[in-house]
């Protein structure tokens, strides 16, 4: 099992293919398996790098606190060890947050940035937003990770034809370490780089599902602050876009990467 030994953390990773480095960063409670439908497809032309974020999958799960800047620092060290920067970076959900932070903290490392169904901040400003966050903590403590997976799977993959994907999602979610999951949730809460988006100078693509948790309009609004930002919207899709509609997602991502000369 390929494990990268960094300063204070052991991270699981996978590398396939040859070409320009293309780093994928998974979301909260997930792993490299988020990208099953992308790895082989893009390995035909790129050096695809997948890894499990601290506290996730086969990577170590040390005590917290965790933070998005810490996850981004781990990612930067991994890139330095495994390949030659600059690299293309793709992040979904929490992985998109890590990618935003990486682009701001280490701009020299990025050739391009792709954000999938994510935001440059997670700040609970209303009572309802705070309640939703703490409800998830409560469900984890009382009912466990499988119950969270069951709830999320119905929201992310709601159609009858999504049954197989839902079953896989629930089984994988149940494998999460509850403590590491809670630490990762705390890392997200209150995090923001909204005021620093103008510092992102590399070409940036935001891929949005039209039925994601956050509306397309919010993504359009923050994109206005990114000098080289553009938006692609996938219709009739939800938060887990790369798994729900892999062919459409891969086509959008491939087109963008090729436009960068890769």
User: What range defines the domain where residue 248 resides?
Assistant: 3-122+192-259
Please report where in the chains the tokens 């089984």 appear, as a residue.
171
Distance of CA 136 to the CA centre of its chain: 19
Residue 211 in 3-state DSSP?
A: coil
Cβ 254 vs Cβ 42: under 8 Å: yes
Overall number of domains in the chain: 1
Low-confidence ranges of the chain (pLDDT < 50): none
Report if residue 130 sits inside a domain: no
Report the predicted TM-score, pTM, of the whole model to 2 decimal places: 0.96
Cα first-last separation, the chain: 29
User: What pLDDT is stored for residue 204 in this prediction?
Assistant: 98
Distance of CA 7 to the CA centre of its chain: 23
Q: What is the pLDDT of residues 50-107, one digit of tens each?
A: 999 999 999 999 999 999 999 999 999 999 999 999 999 999 999 999 999 999 999 9
User: What pLDDT is stored for residue 70 in this prediction?
Assistant: 98
Report if residue 102 sits inside a domain: yes
Q: What is the CATH number of the domain that holds 238?
A: 3.40.50.1820
Q: What is the pLDDT of residues 171-184, one digit of tens each?
A: 999 999 999 999 99
Report DSSP state, residue 261: T
Report DSSP state, residue 121: B
Report if residue 233 sits inside a domain: yes
Report if residue 153 sits inside a domain: no
Per residue, what are the HEC states of 7-50? CCCEEEEEEECCCEEEEEECCCCCCHHHHHHHHHHHHCCEEEEE
Report if residue 180 sits inside a domain: no
Report if residue 184 sits inside a domain: no
CB atoms within 10 A of CB 216: 15
Report if residue 137 sits inside a domain: no
């Amino acid at each position: 099992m390929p494990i990268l030994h960094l300063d204070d953390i052991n991270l699981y990773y996978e590398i396939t293919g040859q070409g320009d480095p293309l780093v994928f960063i998974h979301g909260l409670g997930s792993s490299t398996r988020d990208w099953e439908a992308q790895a082989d497809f893009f390995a035909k032309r790129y050096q695809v790098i997948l890894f499990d974020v601290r506290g996730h999958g086969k990577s170590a799960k040390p005590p917290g606190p965790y933070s998005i800047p810490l996850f981004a620092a781990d990612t930067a060290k991994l890139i330095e060890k495994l390949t030659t920067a600059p690299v293309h970076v793709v992040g979904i959900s929490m992985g998109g947050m890590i990618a935003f932070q990486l682009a701001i903290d280490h701009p020299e490392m990025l050739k391009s940035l792709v954000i999938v169904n994510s935001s440059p901040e997670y700040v609970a400003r209303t009572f309802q937003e705070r309640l939703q966050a703490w409800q998830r903590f409560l469900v984890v403590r009382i009912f466990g990770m499988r119950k969270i997976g069951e709830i999320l799977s119905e929201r992310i993959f709601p159609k009858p034809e999504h049954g197989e994907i839902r079953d896989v999602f629930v089984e994988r979610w149940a494998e999460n370490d509850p403590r590491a999951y809670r630490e990762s949730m705390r890392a997200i809460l209150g995090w923001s780089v909204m005021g620093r988006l103008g510092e992102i100078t590399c070409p940036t693509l935001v891929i949005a599902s039209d039925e994601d948790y956050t509306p397309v309009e919010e993504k359009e609004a923050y994109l206005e602050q990114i000098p080289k930002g553009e938006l692609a919207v996938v219709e009739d899709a939800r938060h887990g876009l790369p798994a729900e509609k892999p062919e459409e997602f891969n086509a959008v991502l491939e087109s963008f990467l090729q436009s960068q000369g890769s």
